[in-house]
Amino acid sequence: MSSRSVQYSTNPLLASKTPIWRSQFIVACIALGFIGLVVRAVYVQVVGNAFFIKQGTVRFERQLDIPANRGRILDRNGLILASSVPMPSIWASPEEMQASTKQLKNLSQLLDMPLPELQKKISDTKRKHVWLRRQVDEATGKQIKELGIHGIYTTMEYKRMYPQGEAAAHVVGFTNVENTGQEGVELTFNTHLGGKNGTRRVIKNGQGQVVEGVGDLIPPEEGKDLQLSIDSKVQYFAYQRLREAVLQNKAAAGSVVVLDAQTGDVLALANYPSYMPDKRSNLSGAQLRNRALTDTFEPGSTMKPLIIGLAMEKGLVKPETMIDTAPGKVSMYGMTVTDAHPHGALSVSEVIQKSSNIGTVKIAMKMPAKDMWELYTQVGFGQKPQVPFPGAVAGRLRPYKSWRPMEQATMSYGYGLSTSLFQLAQAYTMLARDGEMAPVSLLKTQDKVSGVRVMSSEHAAQVRNMLHLVTGPGGTAPKAQTMGYSVGGKTGTAHKLDGKTYAEKKYRGFFVGMAPIENPRIVVAVMIDEPTGGHYFGGDVAAPVFSQTVQQTLRMLEVQPDMAVKPQVVAKAEPESF
């Protein structure tokens, strides 16, 4: 049938009359729909506006932290001890992840992460941000970016670098992956170095890409640089000599402290064993411990010069006063005091030179216990050092009223109290500075500082002359002599406590001294812990480190030699008394 023959006007469906209510219903539905849209629009735009803005913000707007660059740590000459460099960190958005099996294998290899571990991390769709590897090198970051994996992102962070490595580790310390100080100077001055992160708000699209910045940019406050008193060259040399001595003597550990006697600046503070601050995997407590500040020991014979100086200050003896030490073993105060060798009558100077326990006790017991306690307190024993290092200890010095005569006697030659090597070095600045003890500083100072007067300059100079005899013929430390420079100091050898008793074959050997002897520029203290290589006296294991460190340090400080430049070791060391 042809379409032209269709008579639409006669079609009964079209000819039927539509009820009026139907058209009204349709119009009403349209009107209600329109009203509903208007109401919804009003709700979205006016009533519930804050809610929907918040939801849009949650889905697309992000606050990004702009990391502050941590300040550098510099040595006294401006050389870098610690600095930060930008490095890429890799993270994933599990809900956006789209990667082939091959891409995941390549990613796991670049991250040095087992494939199952990687798959587990990126499958946690409840988390929007998962760190895969922090602070990778630039080449690795570039290779990961070239994989083109959807859902894998790179963020630039700062990584801390330590050019001096293990030599300065115990001074500088280290930060964690968040660039927060954890040990040493990094911890103590964390606020000063760290600065404050900035922020910016951005809008991201569905692929996590930044498409627009919103709001004000808050720039980061960069961390401030910090200049220490440490001389990195002195630090490195002292550490190397200490390391060699510990290994040569098959010792458990060792420490060395170098102080500028004029300014009180800490030029070097080294410990062995040490660690690499930026490579701390499998780090042990023995490596981490800053022994020069945290380990205490009975200082042994290094107390004798202080006692002799005090006795001269009280007018009880003079350098030439004779003391009878025969026959080398004397019972007194309920104990037996012995010397390594019987010496007979010794002058006060020779008591120091030969390190006589008997001579020291006889001199000390002429004084009240209070006088000894006051001297020890004035030079810092029993008090925490005023230096900003975490873990610095006070040592032990009991109140003099509790001392029995036997304890006063043993304290005169360094048993019955405890100190750290750092405290011992600071105490000897009193002798180096003509009776005035220097306040120590870890931050660089320019000029000579005033200290606390402990002893007259005359008596301090006399004690220095006695210390010079210790390093000469007939003394206990000829190995402390240094080519070109006059030196003086005191050996110490002490049994180690093992529980509540002294271990028979465990010792600490130490030496603390100064140079040049007439006008000291530096004080150096060395401790070797548990040497087992055949020698354990301080004059054998610690004095050589002192000698080498003094010579190199004075040359670096451009101190003119005060002696002919030739070897001065002319005699075998006298054994020292415990």
Catalytically annotated residues: 301
| Nearest C-alpha neighbor of 351 from the set 403, 393, 312 | 312
The answer to whether the CB of 355 falls within 8 A of the CB of 304 is: yes
* Residue 515 DSSP label: E
Helix, strand and coil in the chain, % to nearest 5 = 40, 25, 40
Distance CA 213, CA 373 (A): 68
Amino acid at 165: G
Please give the backbone phi and psi of residue 223, each rounded to the nearest 5 degrees, phi first: -65, 155
| Sign of the alpha-carbon torsion through 34, 36, 37, 38 | positive
The answer to whether the CB of 186 falls within 8 A of the CB of 172 is: yes
Q: Residue 462: which residues within 8 A CB-CB, separation 6 or more?
A: 309, 312, 319
The CA distances from residue 443 to 76, 185, 266, in Å, are 8, 10, 8
Distance CA 537, CA 570 (A): 18
User: In 93-184, which ranges are E strands?
Assistant: 130-133, 152-161
Q: What angle do CA 292, 559, 512 make, to 5 degrees?
A: 30
The CA distances from residue 156 to 106, 122, 133, 230, in Å, are 21, 20, 12, 32
Q: Residue 100: which residues within 8 A CB-CB, separation 6 or more?
A: none
Distance CA 238, CA 245 (A): 11
Distance CA 498, CA 507 (A): 11
Rounded to 10 degrees, the C-alpha dihedral 13/17/21/24 comes to 80
* Angle (deg, nearest 10), helices 304-313 and 457-470: 150
Distance CA 343, CA 476 (A): 14
